[in-house]
Amino acid sequence: MHEQNTALTGRPVISSTGLFTPAESITNAELVESFNRFVDRHNAANAAAIEAGEVEPLQHSSVEFIEKASGIKARHVMAKAPILDPDIMAPRWDERGNDELSIMAEIGVAAAREALERAGRDPKDVDAVLCAASNMQRPYPAMAIEIQQALGIEGFGFDMNVACSSATFGIQTAADYVRAGNAKSVLVVSPEITSGHLNWRDRDSHFIFGDVATAVLVEDAAIAPKAHWDILGTKLKTVFSNNIRNNFGFLNRAHPETADAADKLFVQEGRKVFKEVVPMVAAMILEEAERLGLDPQGLRRLWLHQANAGMNRLIAHKVLGHEANEDESPTVLDTYGNTSSAGSIIAFHLHSEDMAAGDTGLICSFGAGYSAGTVFVRKAA
């Protein structure tokens, strides 16, 4: 708890982070076994049409294919059994009433509570809650306001969606509130139940996503705990692209004949994304480092968006000037999968405690939009 009459500086810092990890995890071997059973059933049921050339046969997946394509070995999910059931292949749980805490808010609250506890904060110390995630459970009321109410926070809250870049966009927004003196303490919560918008029947993407929730507490330096991270600078960028897209929305009911089309879930042109996003993000990082007077090769650690191991290797190499090791650019996607906006925050949460005072690092996320966000930080003395 901080003193209410402390003179504020207008200088934003990261005071703490929080992480909620679902108890259940799916290995690549489990996922492949389920997917291939679905493929065999589909091909058997459509054998005549396949023989006649009217239907393309589906292809098996493999552990080797998944790990080579992404670097992912497992992912946490909120509902394992139905995802692995070839008759369902989607998450399932009981619908909750309006008087019950929604599932997305529930995991967001869990991550937020840890962030508050690590910073020694009471909920009443917080001025605002931003729910920054790639997909919301509903349009309104805002998930952020439900999280705010569940935590007992006064002030205000709102949702924001910039796909995989949502958390870094949220951090800059929170930092701007602190700089302007409109808030002294802001929670950026990213509950990502990505299993709900993944097509588990699509060979090219069925292995990509996992579920998780993170929280970042951004505060004025005057009230921050001794162990905090100074925010040196932030930068956001968007460039429109259809190469990562999800067309699900309330207007789908205007054309019900395509309600179950593949584009109502996550779809992407993976090779195009790789080719276009890597140079865009690397250039953005280098330009912002130069603006801030930072030597990119002097960055102690990069906490990059956890979507693809190959993308991260290339970006880190361009930024650091050499092949990054695991200490310089830690990986969490091998066990978490792509957790959308939460990925870089998981990496920061799990791999920052060992850094020394004065060390600098970069939190960076990128994805659909295209969108990208950078947050340069320095460990406080």
Cα distance between residue 123 and residue 339, in whole Å: 26
H or E element at residue 166: helix 166-180
Rounded alpha-carbon distances, angstroms, from residue 103 to 78, 138, 243, 269, 303: 9, 11, 29, 30, 27
Element (H, E) at 159: strand 156-160
Cα–Cα distance measured from residue 89 to residue 210, given in angstroms and rounded to the nearest whole number: 14
Strand 74-77, strand 24-27: pairing: antiparallel
For residues 341 and 303, give the distance between their C-alpha atoms in angstroms, rounded to a whole number: 12
62 vs 74: CA distance, rounded Å? 13
67-105: buried (b, 16+ CB within 10 Å) or exposed (e) per residue?
A: eebbbbbbbbbbbbebbbebeebbbeeeeeeeeeebbbb
356 vs 62, 226, 352, CA distance in Å?
42, 13, 9
Q: Which residues pair with 367 in a beta bridge?
A: 371
Instruction: Provide the residue type at 145 as one letter.
Output: I
Strand partners, 30: none
Residue 105: closest CA among 67, 74, 136, 128: 136
- For the chain, the C-alpha Rg in angstroms (whole number) is 21
Select which of 145, 160, 162, 164 is catalytic. 164
> Is 364 a catalytic site residue?
no
Residues acting as catalytic residues: 164
